[in-house]
Chains A and B, each alone.
Chain A
Amino acid sequence: MGDQTNSWKNLLQDSMPPDWAKEIDDFAAQIELNKQGKIEPRIFAETRLRRGAYGQRYDNGQRNDGKQIRKLNYPNEAIWKGPDTHWDAPGMLRIKFPWGGVTADQLDTLADLAEEYSDGIGHITTRQDFQLHFVHIEDAPDLMRRLTAVGITTREACGNSVRNVTACPIAGVCRTESFDVTPYSKAIFKFMLGHPDAQDFGRKFKIAFSGCSGEACGLVNMHDMGFIAKAVKVGGQEKRAFDIYVGGGLGPVPYNAKLLFENHPVEEMLPVTQAVARVYGRLGEKKIRGMARIKFLVAKLGIEEFRRLIVEERKVLPHDPRWTSLIEQYLNEGEKPAHKATSLKASSYPKGFLEWKKTNAYQQPQYGYVTVYVKVPLGDLTSNQLRALAGMARKYVKDTVRTSVEQNLLFRWVSESELPAFFEELGTIGLAEGGANTISDITSCPGTDTCKLGISASRGLARELSQEMTAMMEQMPEEVRNLKIKVSGCPNSCGQHHISDLGFYGVSRKAGSYTVPHFQLVLGGQWKNNGGSYGLAVAAVPSKRIPETIQRLTDKYIKERQKNESFQNFVQRIGKSEIRALLQDLMVIPSHDAEPGLFSDWGDPREYTIADIGVGECAGEIVAPSEFSLTAAEGKAFEAQLKLDQNDLKGAVDLAYESMIFSAEAVVRSRDREYVGNPDSTIGEFKKWFFDTGEFVKHVNNTQFAAFLFKAHENKLPNPNADEAHRRVEEAQLFLEAVHSYVVNAAPQPAPMPGK
Chain B
Amino acid sequence: MDLQKINVKFFVEKGDNMPLADLIPVFHRWIQQDKLEGMLIDVTEYTHVYQGPGLLLIAHEANYSLDEMDGKRGLLYNQKRAPKKSAEEHLKTAFRRALQACSLLEKEPEVAGKIKFAVNHLQVFVNDRLVAPHHSQNYEELEKVLKPLLDSLYEGANHLLIAERDPKKRTGFEVKVEKAIGVEELLAKFSN
Q: Do A and B bind each other?
A: yes
Interface residues of A (CB under 8 A from B): 1-2, 4, 6-8, 11, 57-58, 63, 65-67, 70, 72-75, 88, 90, 108, 111-112, 115-116, 119-121, 133-134, 136, 142, 377-378, 380-382, 384-385, 387, 429-431, 449-450, 460, 463, 466-467, 603-606
Is the beta-carbon distance between A116 and B142 smaller than 8 angstroms? no
Q: What residue in chain B is nearest A138 (Cβ atoms)?
A: B81
Least Cβ–Cβ distance between B91 and chain A, in angstroms: 13
Contact status of A380 and B39, CB under 8 A, knowing A120-B69, A603-B24, A605-B28: no
Q: Which residue of A lies closest to B32 (CB)?
A: A65
Q: How far is the CB of B174 from chain A (nearest CB, A)?
A: 15
B52: which of A1, A70, A108, A120 is its contact (CB, 8 Å)? Answer: A120
Specify which chain A residues have a CB less than 8 angstroms from the CB of B137 in the assembled complex. 1
Partner of A134, one of B50, B58, B131: B58
Residue of A nearest to B47 (CB): A463
CA distance A433 to B132 in the complex (A): 36
Question: Is A381 a contact of B49 with CB atoms below 8 Å?
Answer: yes
CA distance in complex: A536, B174 (Å): 55
Instruction: Report Cα–Cα, A378/B39, bound state, in Å.
Output: 28
A-B contact pairs, 29 of them (CB 8 A): A1-B1, A1-B126, A2-B1, A11-B130, A63-B41, A70-B31, A72-B41, A75-B60, A108-B168, A112-B129, A112-B168, A116-B5, A119-B58, A121-B53, A134-B58, A134-B63, A377-B48, A378-B49, A380-B46, A380-B49, A382-B53, A384-B52, A384-B69, A385-B50, A449-B45, A463-B45, A463-B47, A463-B48, A606-B28
Q: How far is the CB of B140 from chain A (nearest CB, A)?
A: 9
**Nearest 10 pairs of A and B residues by beta carbon:** A430-B50, A382-B52, A120-B53, A605-B25, A377-B48, A1-B138, A65-B32, A1-B1, A1-B141, A463-B48
Q: How far is the CA of A112 from the CA of B128 in the complex (A)?
A: 9
Partner of B141, one of A2, A4, A108: A2
Q: Who on chain B is nearest to A385 by CB?
A: B50
Residues in chain A near residue B53, CB distance under 8 A: 119-121, 382
Residue of B nearest to A605 (CB): B25
Residues of B within 8 A of A460 (CB): 45
B16 within 8 A of A: no
**Does any Cβ of A come within 8 Å of B51's Cβ?**
yes
Chain B residues contacting A463 (CB-CB under 8 Å) are 45, 47-48
Given contacts A63-B42, A65-B32, A136-B80, 20 further A-B contacts (CB under 8 A): A6-B130, A6-B131, A8-B130, A75-B60, A88-B60, A111-B168, A120-B53, A121-B53, A136-B81, A377-B48, A378-B48, A384-B69, A384-B70, A449-B44, A460-B45, A463-B48, A603-B24, A603-B45, A604-B43, A605-B28
Q: How far is the CB of A562 from chain B (nearest CB, A)?
A: 37
Q: Is the CB of B49 within 8 A of A121?
A: yes
Bound CA–CA A603/B28 (angstroms): 11
Least distance between B146 CB and chain A CB atoms (Å): 13
Whole-angstrom CA separation of A430 from B127 in the bound complex:
24
Given A1-B137, A605-B28: A382 in contact with B131 (beta carbons within 8 A):
no
Residue in B60, B81, B130 whose beta carbon sits within 8 Å of that of A7 in the complex: B130
Binding site secondary structure of chain A:
mixed
B132 proximity list for chain A (CB < 8 A): 1
* Nearest CB on B from A322, distance (A): 37
Q: Once the chains bind, are A382 and B58 in contact (CB under 8 Å)?
A: no
List of A residues within 8 angstroms of B157 by Cβ: none
Asked if B2 contacts A1 (CB within 8 A), the reply is yes
* Interface contact B138-A65, CB-CB below 8 Å: no
B60 contact set on A, CB distance < 8 A: 74-75, 88
* A contact residues around B130 at 8 Å (CB): 6-8, 11, 142
A-B contact count (CB 8 A): 121
- Tell whether, in the assembled complex, residue A119 and residue B56 are in contact, meaning their CB atoms are under 8 Å apart: yes
A431 touches B42 (CB 8 A): no
The complex places the Cα of A72 from the Cα of B72 at a distance, in Å, of: 32
Distance in Å from the Cβ of A680 to the closest Cβ of chain B? 46
CB distance from A538 to the nearest CB of B (A): 28
Contact partners of B69 in chain A: CB under 8 A: 120, 382, 384
For the complex, is B92 an interface residue (Cβ under 8 Å from A)? no
Which residues on B sit within 8 Å (CB–CB) of A603?
21, 24, 45
Q: Which residue of A lies closest to B48 (CB)?
A: A377
Contact with A along B169-190 (1 / 0, CB 8 A): 0110000000000000000000
Residues of chain A contacted by B51 (CB below 8 angstroms): 382, 384, 429-430
Minimum CB–CB distance from B151 to chain A (whole Å) comes to 21
How far, in angstroms, from A552 to B50 measured CA to CA in the complex?
31
B residues near A7, Cβ cutoff 8 Å? 130
**Distance in Å from the Cβ of B142 to the closest Cβ of chain A?**
7
State the CA gap A389–B80 with chains docked (Å).
27
**Complex contacts, A134 vs chain B, CB 8 Å:** 44, 58, 63
Q: How far is the CB of B30 from chain A (nearest CB, A)?
A: 10
In the assembly, what is the distance between CA of A163 and CA of B25, in Å? 38
CB-nearest residue of chain A to B137: A1
Within 8 A of A (CB), among B22-44: 24-25, 28, 31-32, 39, 41-44
Which of A1, A115, A450 meets B131, CB within 8 Å? A1
Nearest chain B CB to A531's CB is how many angstroms away? 26
Closest residue on chain A to residue B1 by CB atoms: A1
CA of A70 to CA of B80 in the docked complex: distance in angstroms? 23
How many angstroms between the C-alpha atoms of A570 and B168 in the bound complex? Answer: 52
Give the CA-CA distance A463 to B21 in the complex, in Å: 12
Interface residues of B in 107-154 (CB under 8 A from A): 126-132, 137-138, 141-142
Task: Name the residue on B nearest A136 (C-beta).
Answer: B81
Report how far A27 CA is from B138 CA in the complex, Å. 32
Contacts of B47 in A (CB 8 A): 463
Contacts of A72 in B (CB 8 A): 39, 41
* Closest B residue by C-beta to A67: B32
Q: Which residue of A lies closest to B81 (CB)?
A: A136
Set of chain B residues within 8 Å of A467, measured between Cβ atoms:
48
